[in-house]
A and B are shown apart, each in its own frame.
Chain A
Amino acid sequence: MSSLPILSLIVFAPWIGALLLALFGRNLGANARRALGLVFSGSTLVLALVVVGLFNPAAAGYQFGESHAWITTLNVNYRLGLDGLSLLLVLLTGIVSPLCLMASWRIERDTHTFGALFLLLQGAALGVFLALDFFHWFLFWELTLVPAFFLIKLWGGPGATRAAYQFVIYTLAGGAFMLLGFAALYVATGTLDFAELTRLAATGGLAPKLAALGGFWPTAVFVGVFLGLAVKVPLFPFHTWLPSAYAEAPTGASMFLTGVMSKMGVYGFLRILWPLFPAQLHAAAPCLLWLALGGVVLGAFAAMKQTDLKRMVAYSSINHLSYCLLALFAVASATKPDAAASALSGTLLQMFNHGLSAAALFACVGILEARSGGLRGLNDFGGVRTVAPLFAGLCGVAMFSSLGLPGLNGFVGEFLIFSGVFGLAPWAAAVACLGLLATALFLLTFWQRVFHGPVGAGVAAFRDLDRVEILTLLPFAILMFLFGVLPQIVIILFNPLVTTWAAHLP
């Protein structure tokens, strides 16, 4: 293992870029600014690939650990570490982020500020995936809000102010309760270290300590942490901020929000809630399963009712992420290691795949918007395929990936989830099928209304993709095929981890 603090480098490289852009961006030309942003954003992918090369997939624990004493009074240490789950998400961030910047190439206003904010956001998200102590994990977690707020607010659509405000207040409220939950955990255990807390929970030391709080407080702690995470994912019915935020955000930000930030919530469920509160989660699982199902089914049906393409994709995100949670809650509700392993693998894969497909879809809608001068209604287009065949092809790949067509990446994850959930909670899997159906319906409607039919009024003048756009969409399409055909190159990263999890189900 290298002595270079590679994880810190992953987190802080985008921040260095952000700083450079903020300080010197004013003096650079627009393309130089964009290129600078892209370079620093791409650093994540490069470093992540280096880490993949050095990563030992067989080990289940944290690797590349860094630890420095930080705040002795609160027993806080600066700890970073990486396991398969983190690596997967870092890789995802590395892939999606530069593409988000590519998709934002057309933004003319304050490009250096945009780039700086975006890199800040990227670094913070990476920090969330790598931090192992609540203190700076929460720091990164909350810090993502700031650039996201401004990206939505300053570069977003007409309703951006309200959407950004709503987004931040919801998340902040969730964050406050999570903070309180961790305050209570600290009171009970005297540490905020995830690994330490997990160890305590695993050896049964945490429950009695929490019980010492007395009364309903242990449950309150669980609820606090749960709320913080549920708002972020979001879990039905805490999702109301999401459609407007995603819809009003500029394309690049929407891509990042759905591609990476929505994973932070799921990551939190897997990294924090499940290991620390297995008993509470087990107790609450039947209820939560219904909530997740609500997200799956209602999210899909809501998407079907949308006429705004961006809102449609936004609701589809709710639907897709709810699969992840469905699988997790199903695992928590029953003890069946085999099915659990399948469901958990599915969850992780689904996170990764959804990151790719949803981001790609937002990029496509963004391209449509750019062509039509801001229109993005379901019925504003028609016959785009004839005018822009290349675009139609790449967009179709993304759509079918999202739909879960075998051979593309989306299928594998959903299949694993369904097979796992079927073993754990068959009724839930059955209900969730409704969601699958609805997803197919609205995506095909999308496909049909926009790309087929007679060429719409404004559509005739559409040009096909230019170089930058091709460079944005093509990698998505390639990766979708790649991971659809060879999912094991991803699975191998986290398989031992999932096996360990499944083997140690409480």
Chain B
Amino acid sequence: MNLLPWTIYVSFAGAFLALLAGTRSASAARWVALATAVAGTLLTLLAAQSFTPGPAMQTLVDVPWIGELGVRYHLAVDGISLTLLVLTGLAATAGILFSWNIEERTGEFFSLYLALIGGVYGVFMSVDAFVLFVFYEIAIVPKYFLIAIWGSTNREYGAMKLVLYSFAGSALVLAGLLWAYAAGGAHGFGLDELTIAATHISHPSQIAIFALVFLGFAVLAGMFPFHTWAPTGHVAAPTAASMLLAGVVMKLGAYGCLRVALPMFPGAFAACQPIIAWLAIAGIIYAGFIALVQEDFKFVIGYSSVSHMGFVLLGIAAATPLALAGAVLQMFSHGVIAGLLFAVVGRMVYERTHTRQLAALTAMPLHRLLPFAAVVFVLAGLASLGLPGFSGFPAELSILIGTWQAKPLWALVAAVGIVVAGAFTLRAIQVAFFGSTGARASSVDAHAHPLPPITLAEKSGALLLLAATLFVGLKPDVLLNWIVPALQSPAFQAVIKGGTP
């Protein structure tokens, strides 16, 4: 357990080493990065093995940092954090495998990448708002460079938009946290302490602060109507960055809502619940329909991420134990699945065909040219539309059940989102991969468009993520047994009790 903070340190050290190694040779940087990511993953898995689920946050490190502000370097985990830590490890490893072909400024790429990962690990372990915020921002800045330097379509615009949205969101969070700290007369930034301090604040101010903090985090989670950064950013980003963005970084936002905003202001949350829920539902359905008419393959996936994160937010908004558990499970599930989808679209297909236009792809018999990519995309797509057997299903089921407990109407409308998700996923599958089938796709075509074969790195990355989504789909208990006890903590119980309309 106590090895977990090393995921952060190892990642930052790896970032530094990759930068150094990159000056010598690109492949050295790759191996350093891979070793770092694998080490991080192993550390999380090792910790997971010795983890005893319980309601309390299990402290890993707790030392004073800035005495004058009462800031403590306090890291702790519960089942929710652990789930997301494991996700981070997996996504990071897979992302590196899918960036194996980066030739330009390799060292810098992996350095920024690992710095981002380190920040993400840090956020998921911090229980001091200051520390959390520090890691949160560390995770934001590298995104700009990853996208602006190694991205594709409209990359500088996409990068700037993404970073400004994220940073504006984090500014809201900072404003809210500082306000709560000042108004509540807290002596430190420990989340527990802030929660106690928040009770001393008047109700209208509580609502205002909650709105700031929640909104700030929700921007990063891609909440409608503040989601517009996500599709443009995802599309502009290089594959590994899209994978991380959709897979992990959007989770930071949702995690922040869950860990910071809700427990601090259960009362204010209860008042805002319907608004959040309807915005989440609007995101699910609106993004789904937008995805249905996209012509750029990556935009389809980008909007699908927004739609799926809508389920996470809906689970959070419903705030019943099952809905919250489902939301965390959906975070994990979407992290893995979105990673896979982006890997197929961005790496396997785009870098071979050099187009992402569905109209162009449909003319190529991709299922023959890239059978592996086709199979992976079909599986990932099915997982994404919530087919039972994959991780998306238990997550969406839990969210729907939990939401129904809170308000049946929400669940009913959200179910429409499932149908839309099915529609756009199937459309993407068949238009992109099976556009020309039957007699038209003769084997001659395969020779007419020779494409480089799928590399070993890509295969192992894809198999890693597929295994994860299947495993969780068939055995969601593994994660739920971590998550559910964590929801028994007093902080979440307050949310659940105050949060039932």
Contacts and interface: CB of A to CB of B under 8 A. Distances in A.
Interface of A: 70-74, 135-136, 138-143, 145-146, 149-150, 153-156, 158, 160-161, 164-165, 168-169, 172-173, 176-177, 179-180, 183-184, 186-187, 213, 217, 220
Interface stretch (B97-105, B156-164, B341-349, B390-398): B390-398
A136 B388 contact: yes
A180 B400 contact: yes
9 contacts: A73-B476, A74-B476, A135-B397, A138-B388, A161-B434, A165-B430, A179-B400, A180-B411, A186-B401
A71 B477 contact: yes
B437 A153 contact: yes
B73 to A, nearest CB: 33
B377 to A, nearest CB: 13
Contacts of A168: 422, 426
Contacts of B405: 187
Interface in B378-414: 378, 382, 385, 387-389, 393-394, 397-398, 400-401, 404-405, 408, 411-412
Contacts of A74: 322, 394, 397-398, 401, 476, 480
Given A73-B481, A161-B430, A169-B422, 7 more contacts: A73-B398, A74-B398, A74-B476, A153-B430, A165-B427, A165-B430, A183-B400
A74 B389 CA distance: 15
B446 interface: no
A58 to B, nearest CB: 35
A434 to B, nearest CB: 35
B481 A180 contact: no
A183 B397 contact: yes
Nearest to B423: A169
B408 A184 contact: yes
Interface in B410-452: 411-412, 415-416, 418-419, 422-423, 426-427, 430, 434, 437-438
Contact of B382 (A73, A146, A161): A146
Nearest to B381: A146
B484 interface: yes
A176 B438 contact: no
Select the residue from A143, A164, A177, A179 with max chain B CB neighbours within 10 A: A179
A186 B408 CA distance: 12
A220 B378 CA distance: 33
A220 B413 CA distance: 13
A154 B419 CA distance: 23
A180 B475 CA distance: 21
Contacts of B397: 74, 135, 179, 183
A71 B418 contact: no
Mostly helix, strand, loop or mixed at chain A's interface? Answer: helix
B325 interface: yes
A455 B150 CA distance: 69
Given A183-B404, A220-B412, A146 B422 contact: no
Contact of A142 (B387, B400, B438, B480): B387
B487 to A, nearest CB: 10
Contacts of A213: 408
B438 A172 contact: no
Contacts of B475: 71
Interface of B: 322, 325, 378, 382, 385, 387-389, 393-394, 397-398, 400-401, 404-405, 408, 411-412, 415-416, 418-419, 422-423, 426-427, 430, 434, 437-438, 475-477, 480-481, 484
A154 B437 contact: yes
Contacts of A70: 477
Contact of A176 (B325, B382, B415, B427): B415
A182 to B, nearest CB: 8
A150 B426 CA distance: 11
B434 A187 contact: no
B101 to A, nearest CB: 26
A158 B437 CA distance: 10
Contacts of A172: 385, 418-419, 422-423
Contacts of A180: 400, 404, 411-412, 415
A168 B434 CA distance: 15
A272 B434 CA distance: 36
A74 B400 CA distance: 12
Contact of A154 (B393, B438, B476, B481): B438
Nearest to A170: B419
A115 B313 CA distance: 41
A335 to B, nearest CB: 32
User: Which of A145, A173, A187 gathers most chain B CB within 10 Å?
Assistant: A187
A136 B416 CA distance: 22
Contacts of A155: 438
A217 B408 contact: yes
B434 A139 contact: no
A325 to B, nearest CB: 24
Task: Give 3 closest A-B pairs by Cβ, nearest first.
Answer: A139-B388, A73-B480, A172-B422
Contacts of A160: 437-438
Contacts of B484: 73
Contacts of A173: 419, 422
A176 B401 contact: no
A470 B61 CA distance: 75
A122 B325 CA distance: 34
Contacts of A139: 388-389, 393
A169 B292 CA distance: 13
Nearest to A214: B408
B480 A71 contact: yes
A146 B384 CA distance: 13
A183 B411 contact: yes
B437 A161 contact: yes
A142 B394 contact: no
B258 to A, nearest CB: 17
Contacts of B423: 169, 172
A185 to B, nearest CB: 9
A194 to B, nearest CB: 16
Nearest to B416: A176
A169 B426 contact: yes
Contacts of B389: 139, 143
Of A74, A160, A161, chain B has the most CB atoms within 10 Å of the CB of A74
Contacts of B378: 146, 150
B417 to A, nearest CB: 9
A143 B419 contact: no
Contacts of B415: 176-177, 179-180
B203 to A, nearest CB: 29
Q: Which of B404, B412, B475, B484 has the most chain A CB atoms inside 10 A of its CB?
A: B404
Contact of A73 (B325, B416, B427, B438): B325
B418 A143 contact: no
Contacts of B437: 153-154, 160-161
A131 B395 CA distance: 21
Most buried by A among B378, B387, B394: B387
A244 B405 CA distance: 39
B271 to A, nearest CB: 23
Nearest to A171: B422
A74 B322 CA distance: 8
Contacts of B481: 72-73
Contact of A169 (B325, B408, B419): B419
Nearest to A69: B477
A289 to B, nearest CB: 27
Nearest to B382: A146
Given A73-B481, A177-B415, A183-B400, A146 B426 contact: no
B3 to A, nearest CB: 27
A180 B418 CA distance: 10
